[in-house]
Amino acid sequence: MESNAQTATLRLTEVFLSLQGETSRAGLPTVFVRLAGCPLRCRWCDTPYSFQGGETVPLASLLARVADYGVPTVCVTGGEPLAQKNCLPLLAALCDAGYSVSLETSGALDVSLVDARVSRIVDIKPPGSGEDARNRWENLAHLTPHDEIKFVLADHADYDWAREVVREQKLAQVCPILFSPVQGELPPAHLADWILADRLPVRMQVQLHKVLWGNTPGK
């Protein structure tokens, strides 16, 4: 039977309040909805605890848990949230409820059916992730200026690769572009120097939540 907004359930790793640590929304108090499961295995993944398990929750009670925080900004993340079919009704329901919603997605799945009110943060996986074969390049044609593209970079080879993608695909004309170092692997200042040397029109970011709290689940 088709699920609808009344009967839909989601597999949930955690819901928590934190400061948004990434993207143009960095620093804003945000409720995070972390859905369980991911079909990718990025070498440096910082949320492997989301791969398995999770609690099965009705969409309506998930909305109630989000509402309890009394915060107008919500980020749906994972794992890979779009791997669950009820992620799409969840995103639409959050928008209908008046939240400002962003979605963190691996870039491996179709983003074209996501509610247009959602800001889609779409990864492009460089070779150092081990998952570059999963990039769904067709997604780029669907992005608008209120979406963002994110590259997480492990080393200089990843940086060179990402710079060429930005230039060849003219990504700066599509939406904001984020370059982020793999924490504990690529020193942020190295990435900053490379971006400046190339005058690359991308936004360098470090994960604010890890500066504040380290890599702690629920932060």
Ligand X SMILES: Nc1nc2[nH]cc(C(=O)O)c2c(=O)[nH]1
Say if CB 163 and CB 157 are below 8 A apart.
no
Consult the annotation and say whether 137 binds a ligand: no
Q: Could you say whether residue 209 binds ligand X (CB under 6 A)?
A: yes
CA 180 to CA 173: how far, in whole Å?
Answer: 19
How would you classify the pairing of strands 73-77 and 148-153? unpaired
Q: Could you say whether residue 106 binds ligand SF4 (CB under 6 A)?
A: yes
Backbone angles phi, psi at 41, to 5 degrees: -140, 70
Binding-site partner at residue 20 among ligand SF4, ligand X, none, CB < 5 to 8 Å by type: ligand X
Kindly tell me which of 77 and 119 has the beta carbon lying closer to ligand SF4. Answer: 77
Contact range with ligand X by CB under 6 A, out of 2-10, 18-26, 59-67, 163-171? 18-26
Nearest distance, CB of residue 164 and ligand X, angstroms: 26
Q: Could you say whether residue 121 binds ligand SF4 (CB under 6 A)?
A: no
Say if CB 197 and CB 169 are below 8 A apart.
no
CA 130 to CA 133: how far, in whole Å?
Answer: 8
Kindly tell me which of 23 and 163 has the beta carbon lying closer to ligand X. Answer: 23
Q: Could you say whether residue 103 binds ligand SF4 (CB under 6 A)?
A: no
Q: Could you say whether residue 20 binds ligand X (CB under 6 A)?
A: yes
CA 152 to CA 180: how far, in whole Å?
Answer: 5
Say if CB 67 and CB 97 are below 8 A apart.
yes
Q: Could you say whether residue 12 binds ligand SF4 (CB under 6 A)?
A: no
Contact range with ligand X by CB under 6 A, out of 17-25, 90-98, 170-178, 182-190? 17-25
Say if CB 77 and CB 34 are below 8 A apart.
yes
Consult the annotation and say whether 207 binds a ligand: no
> Omega of the bond prior to 184 within 30 degrees of 0, cis?
no
Residues in the site for ligand SF4, rule: CB under 6 A? 38, 40-42, 45, 47, 78-80, 106
Residues in the site for ligand X, rule: CB under 6 A? 18-22, 32, 47, 75, 77, 104, 209, 219
